[in-house]
A and B are shown apart, each in its own frame.
Chain A
Amino acid sequence: MFRAFKLGDGTEVVLRALRWGDLDDMLELHNELIDEEAMIGGDRRMTRDEQVDRHALLMKEVEGGRSVVVVAEIGGKAVGQTNARKRGGRQSHTAGLGLFVRRTWRGRGVGSELMRELEVQARRIGVEVLFLEVYSVSPAVELYGRLGYTEYGRLPGGIKYQGGYVDAVSMYKRIAG
């Protein structure tokens, strides 16, 4: 466990490392995001078998110090996660991150706490720069800005979403070094 905090309504949230046993919660989280057409990179549901492979790979990467994952747990259930994966070679001090929170728990501070903890954990594996990509129309742009991320690039029409194109905004934050 990394730490715990309370939401405005008193709900306790535990921030902790990823476990093998998070497999099914992670599958549920992913497929819920797909069903609601959330602004994430993925665009199709995963089968349990696909998730098993993805989960195994992620567990392996965490074990090897190439990735970090922070899970938010409420009432024994994983309701969100953020992860960062180090790039290779001369870019291995930089890591690309993703943030995923179940719909009912959004807008209540879970995401920003996950991101804060991710910085702490990422530093432990030698990450100096975190970067991310976000839909230009996503409310998360504002969240990342508040957390200290700066826009460093924008890919015009980089994302196909709901029949149209939106820009992919790239943001980064220097967390060490």
Chain B
Amino acid sequence: MDQKNGILDRSYQFFASVKLSLFLFGSLAATSIVGTLIPQESTVEQRLREYGPKLSALIEVLDLADMYHSWWFKVLLGLLSVNLIVCSLRRLPQTLTLLRAGSQTMDPARLQKMRHHARIQVPLPLSESQRLLASRLGRRYSCQWQERDGGWQAAAEKGRFSRLGVYFVHLGVLLILGGALIGSVFGFRGFVTIPESGTVDRIFIGSKHRVLPLGFAIRCDKFTVDFYDTGAPKEFRSDVSILEHGDMVRRAAILVNDPLTFKGITFYQATYGSEPSDIVLQLNDVTSGKKLRLEVPFRETIVIPGTKDRLVVMDYAENVGNHGPALFIAAAREHQQPASAWILVKQPAFHGNRIGDLAITAESFQNSFYTGLQVKKDPGVWVIYAGFSLMLLSMLFALYGSHRRMWFLLDQGSGGTKIMLGGHSSKHQAAFEREFTKLTQEIGDLSAYGNAHV
């Protein structure tokens, strides 16, 4: 039983130790370097080419290509959280006791054992010294005065809550880690492209091409891109409408740095591109001599009317082989192997503008923009922002504040007042020493100060 307690106790000590924190800071920093050197989210093939089979296998086992989401990195973060919690739980009671302990009665012996202490004699009567010292201290410290067999005792302190600062910093860090966890469990990140005047009601999640219905629809009314005279992009802007059950409920513009949030889902301007629309093709079957004029949508397979032949405009390029824009078209004709070709738009007479015996001319098309939106839902963001604020504010107290305590004993002496003082600070010893020395001098000058006011 004793031994079991021993183990529990020792593991409690281990998880509460600053040594563990130092180890975790060091190992999180060191391992994070690895992830910046090995490209994250690369493919197996890329890694094999780059690192060879042995290193690739190691990368695979340790999940180094998605390091920050690997099990062992999560273990390190989990350990950090446990360390934070256990350490705070262990130290908090002591701190609270320190804070609750008000002014203790002080005796000269204890005062002299303090790191900073001094004895001063001032040529003033006791009551006068007490009054002047009280008004001096009252400005900077919260003081408690007590009468004490013929003399006075004062306990002065300031910055007592700086002792709690560190706990709130740690709570802030926990909130940030917790917010990240909430986001990864209850949130999603996805992507969607919408052509101008097109409407979508579902998005793609992650790289696995999972489709997620939004519960409403979003239409891209217009996409605009502005450039500076230098040719650098100035602004990307998508004007969109939100539709519910076919009714428009909201219109908004999405710009970089100015996203749109609807029902907890946020849309960010991410990319854009252009694609052809309203494509009109002329088909000429060289063998049968049949001609046909046909309007085809982009990237949708259609059946050529009056036949069982299928055709699709698969791709568009601004410039193919320096011959200008071209459409990549594939055709699967009845009883023939499917075939494909780049059809040059500006050179209808080009002999290669045919698939098998089907000569194709691109009569006209429009070039219209599509917008690429990053779509995100993250209920953890507000927890994280709360963590940020808490951490920052309390860091100010934890790093710049210090709990400074001083005690004063005043006794009637021959020809004046004997003053003994002593004190200590939880942090910033050098600064406290300066303050203590300055205060000692001021007390020595109390009589001059008093006379000046009399």
The yes or no verdict on A and B being binding partners is no
